Amino acid sequence: MKNAIIKKIKDDLNSGFKTKEFLEFATNSLHYIDRGFIKAGNHNFPYIIINKENSINGQHSNFLITPICFSGPIGFNLEELHIQINRTLKHYELMGGFIQTCFELNENNSFKYYQWGSAYIDFRTCYKIRLGNSLEDYIGKVKNDSKKRLKNILNEKKKYFLAEASSDKDIKIFAEMYSRNAKESKFSPQYCFTLPCWIELLKNNLFKLYLLHYKGKVVSGTIITKINSGFDYTFMAYDREKSDVSRANLLYIARYLNDSGKFLSLGGGIFEDDSLSKFKLSMGGEPYRYARYRFQIGLDNESNKHIIKKKLKSRWP
């Protein structure tokens, strides 16, 4: 029991998502009321409090949410969170929240009703590549549509070179590439960052930037976050003129980290089963259904049950 508790503490301290650098980075472009860390079960996780329209009563209310990326709790109990809210955040008069977790949902989507309010529990799929295997084993798990492309990339392996960033100049190369991608793909403001943001984030050793070179030119960059017993493929930018650079980048990152952790978490798609999800699946990513909770506080379940069921399925509670 003691060893298990020690391991959980070490896991918390060994996750880049549990750092003030990440929380400051993730909230850089947000209008928030408060931010910090809150305990749910045996783990702390980052939170943000924002003020927005309540989908149920139409009034502006304060809500507790988790930041971007899969940075939520790896162990979670909504009843315990409600107790913590009453202990430490009561003065904000929270009306609800949206918590995206990092643990699997082993049941069907469902509504839960409590004395203090209601919750809708569903999932978002996250894809993970298992590390610690041979190149042949990894290629064997890749879908046929990516397998042929990876073999072509490996035939040119002498032209590729992956290196960890070693200077602000390297970070600038990545930042400019990321900004071009963000503009071309019309990223939402919360996913747009300036060069100083990247520099500050990378001061923490739990975040590493890697640049992939092809024929001496940087064609992609990736920020990897150390999380618990593995890694998170958190941000990626690439040169759109180079064909199959996304596959090459993921391949070389996964092989570079292969002996250093148990898994490489790729995140999910923008929507379930979209082209990004299918890409991650085709590259050997195994799907995991991560639970997420939308909840409302202080509503009478009986008189509001119909509208609760409708509104809690929306993007926001």
Quickly list DSSP for 71-88: -S-SS--HHHHHHHHHHH
Percent of the chain with pLDDT over 90: 76
The mean-pLDDT minimum among 15-24, 54-63, 92-101 falls in: 54-63
Q: Which residues of 10-44 are buried (b: 16+ CB within 10 A; e: fewer)?
A: ebbeebbbbbeebbebbbbeeeeeebeebebeebe
* pLDDT over 80 (residue 277): yes
Looking at the predicted structure, is the pLDDT value of residue 79 above 60?
A: yes
Contact residues for 288 (Cβ-Cβ < 8 A; gap 6+): 104, 125, 126, 127, 128
**Helix 144-155 and helix 245-256: axis angle, to 10°?**
80
Domains of the chain, with CATH numbers?
A: 2-125+289-311 (no CATH), 127-288 (3.40.630.30)
CB 43 within 8 A of CB 75: yes
- Is the confidence at residue 6, as pLDDT, over 70? no
Q: Which has the higher per-residue pLDDT, 300 or 38?
A: 38
Give how far the C-alpha of residue 292 lies from the chain's centroid of Cα atoms, to the nearest Å. 13
**pLDDT top residue among 301 and 195:** 195
Q: What is the mean pLDDT of residues 90-112?
A: 93
- And the tokens for 53? 């329209």
| Cα within 13 Å of Cα(134), Cβ side | 3
CA distance 218 to 229: 29
- The average confidence (pLDDT) of the chain is 90
Task: Pull the structure tokens for residue 73.
Answer: 């709790």
Here the tokens at position 286 are 């195994």
**The model's pTM:** 0.91
Q: In this structure, what token pair is assigned to residue 172?
A: 């600038």
Q: Where residue 265 falls among pLDDT bands split at 50, 70, 90?
A: very high
- pLDDT for 7 equals 41
Lowest mean pLDDT among 83-87, 286-290, 306-310: 306-310
* Alpha-carbon Rg for the chain in angstroms: 21
At residue 303, the pLDDT reads: 65
- SS3 of residue 245 by DSSP: helix
Nearest alpha carbon to residue 177 among 226, 213, 227, 208: 213
Q: At residue 54, what is the residue type? A: N
More confident residue, 255 or 306: 255
> In this predicted structure, what is the pLDDT of residue 315?
64
* Cβ-proximal residues to 142 (8 Å cutoff; 6+ apart), any chain: 150, 282, 283, 284
Q: Tokens 């298992």 label which residue?
A: 130
Average pLDDT value for residue range 287-296: 95
Band of pLDDT at residue 100, cut at 50, 70 and 90: very high
Residues 6+ apart with CB under 8 A from 71: 17, 22, 26, 45, 46, 102
Amino acid at residue number 127:
Y
Nearest residue to 283 via CA among 70, 140, 104: 140
Token readout for 236 is: 């990626």
Instruction: List phi, psi (to 5°) of 48.
Output: -130, 140
Tell me what pLDDT residue 199 has: 98
